[in-house]
Amino acid sequence: MRWDRESTDQQFFGASYVKGRLRHDVSGELYGYRLAERDSPNLSTRNRRLITVGGRLLRIPGGQFDVDVEGAYQFGKARATIAATDRSDLSVSAYFVHAEFGRTFVIGWSPRVSLHFDRASGDRGAPGEYGRFDALFGARRADFGPVDLYGPIGRSNLVSPGIRLEAKPSRRLDSFVMLRELWLDSANDSFSSTGVRDRSGQSGRHAGVQIEGRVRYWVVPKRLRMDTGVALLAKGRFLHQASNAPSTGSTHYAYFDLATEF
């Protein structure tokens, strides 16, 4: 064991402003973040010097129509790889958008139906440029499925419409099921978080379909909660034909979790 040592070779900072109740219970947010890193003997990086600016409009669910719309633009400099021999700075221009529109019905089980759309840019290989959106840091659970050992879908090189159904039969029990179509924004870039790529672009853009479900139950209210779920990624043409695509069929994932809160 030894102490961690601080370094200025990787820095992350930013600011955000939130305004509640702009109109009809809609809140707004503006934000900007800066990531600056550089190679060192103890840290291999892509020398990302990125600025991400964006905004969000949100109306939380609850017996009415709700909305969640967000967009961000990213620019700066980065390198294509972390290799020490890669010293070519590329100009970054990338973006992502998220839109979600839902309706909660004031009847038994409080069902909510929502439509989703996510798009995150991929790199098109233009000389001296880099177009793949970098999600920087943060969790993916709310948007793209369970993480842990499963996590092929992230906010990069992705076009994904979807539909979600939620239900809350009681204060102790809630559940949802969601269907997503998965496409590539750029046929030449690696798909989302999978690392699967066809540089020729001949494998098309359709990556497949993801179906996900989850059930949560308070075994002991406000103390012990069970969380269990499944995910199925049915592969499309791209995940079958790309040169480094796994030769296995569809991906199946299941998990069970008990969590205690204090």
- How many whole angstroms separate alpha carbon 75 and alpha carbon 131? 9
User: What is the pLDDT averaged over residues 91-110?
Assistant: 94
- How many whole angstroms separate alpha carbon 146 and alpha carbon 136? 18
Q: Which of 156, 159, 102, 111 is nearest to 134 (CA)?
A: 156
| Residue 3 confidence class, pLDDT cut points 50, 70, 90 | confident
**What H or E segment, with its residue span, contains residue 237?**
helix 237-241
Question: Quick one: pLDDT at residue 114?
Answer: 96
User: What is the pLDDT averaged over residues 112-132?
Assistant: 95
Question: Quick one: pLDDT at residue 64?
Answer: 81
pLDDT of 158 strictly over 60: yes
Q: Which of 215, 219, 230, 154 is nearest to 190 (CA)?
A: 154
Structure-model confidence comparison of residues 141 and 256, the more confident one: 256
User: What is the pLDDT averaged over residues 15-42?
Assistant: 90
Question: Quick one: pLDDT at residue 86?
Answer: 83
Question: Quick one: pLDDT at residue 21?
Answer: 81
Question: Quick one: pLDDT at residue 142?
Answer: 62
Question: Quick one: pLDDT at residue 4?
Answer: 80
pLDDT of 134 strictly over 90: yes
CA 248 to chain centroid? 24
User: What is the pLDDT averaged over residues 125-145?
Assistant: 83
Residue 142 CB partners (closer than 8 Å, separation 6+): none
Question: Quick one: pLDDT at residue 165?
Answer: 97
b (16+ CB within 10 A) / e for 145-160: bbeeebbbbbbbbbbb
pLDDT of 79 strictly over 60: yes
User: What is the pLDDT averaged over residues 45-63?
Assistant: 91
3-state secondary structure of 124: coil
pLDDT of 196 strictly over 70: yes
Q: Which of 192, 194, 69 is nearest to 135 (CA)?
A: 192
3-state secondary structure of 31: strand
Q: Is the pTM of this model over 0.75?
A: yes
Q: Which of 128, 113, 129 is nearest to 64 (CA)?
A: 113
pLDDT of 141 strictly over 60: no
CA 25 to chain centroid? 26
Name the average pLDDT for the chain.
91
Least confident range of 39-48, 93-102, 163-172, 195-204: 39-48
- For residue 174 the two structure tokens come to 């809630």
pLDDT of 5 strictly over 90: no
| Residue 147 confidence class, pLDDT cut points 50, 70, 90 | low
- How many whole angstroms separate alpha carbon 4 and alpha carbon 158? 36
Least confident range of 36-50, 87-101, 108-122, 123-137: 36-50
User: What is the pLDDT averaged over residues 246-257?
Assistant: 90
